[in-house]
Amino acid sequence: MDRGEDAGEANTGGLYQPGLSQPSRQLLLRLMDVLDGLRPQPGSLHDLPQVTVNPQDVATACRLAKDDAAVDANQLMCLACVDYQEYFQLVYFLRSLGKSGEAAETMVIRTQLPYGQPGAPASVPSVSSVWRAADWYEREAHDLFGVEFQDHPNLEPLLLYEGFEGFPGRKEFPFNDYQEF
């Protein structure tokens, strides 16, 4: 973990992310403390605090972020899957709606998982038991990228028809060769 020293970081416990405002740095510090046992890597996505965790820890990290009163990530705003051709990056945008008198806060948890092999697709634990909204996001990532979400209650196709060949969200998908029926 990069804990640089800077005069402007006295209230962040030495955790320095130059792209973050002071409130976002405070949220990042709280998130890092809550996820400390998972060895999160700090970062930022514009002015959003971001932590990166190992794929096998993503469901635990999301559950901790939701259940801890200091972070209170009670809403999954979006789950995005990005194809970098050698690995997928799953990006979870979380929101704490704030308690009475507190401002709402947005944070990001992300993970990287390697492309799967034929017969052993890329796999990550489902967070659908943490937020019900994850159901459709995970089904979409499964349809478009082939990511398997372990313990998901129903990974049936959401956007594509049953029997569709390939994963059109992947960069390798041959759009020019595809023929509609």
pLDDT (tens digit per residue) in 10-20: 444 446 677 78
Q: Could you tell me if 95 and 104 are in contact, meaning their C-beta atoms sit under 8 angstroms apart?
A: yes
For residue 73 the two structure tokens come to: 């990530």
For residue 32 the two structure tokens come to: 């890092």
DSSP 85: S
pLDDT digits (tens, 9 = 90+) for 57-98: 999 999 999 999 999 999 999 999 999 999 999 999 999 998
> Taking the model in full, what pTM does it have?
0.86
Rounded Cα–Cα distance for residues 111 and 77 (Å): 16
Rounded Cα–Cα distance for residues 2 and 37 (Å): 16
pLDDT digits (tens, 9 = 90+) for 60-69: 999 999 999 9
Overall average pLDDT of the 115-132 stretch? 89
Overall average pLDDT of the 142-148 stretch? 95
2, pLDDT greater than 50:
no
Banded model confidence at residue 100, pLDDT cuts 50, 70, 90: low
Banded model confidence at residue 177, pLDDT cuts 50, 70, 90: low
**pLDDT mean across residues, the chain:** 88
- In terms of Cβ atoms closer than 10 Å to its own Cβ (0-12, 13-18, 19+), residue 153 is exposed
SS3 call for 80: strand
Residue keyed to tokens 């947005």: 106
Domains of the chain, CATH where assigned = 20-165 (3.30.460.80)
pLDDT digits (tens, 9 = 90+) for 25-34: 999 999 999 9
Residue keyed to tokens 């809403």: 75
For residue 175 the two structure tokens come to: 């759009």
SS3 call for 127: coil
- Which helix (H) or strand (E) covers residue 86, if one does? none
SS3 call for 7: helix
Beta-strand pair 148-150/123-125: parallel
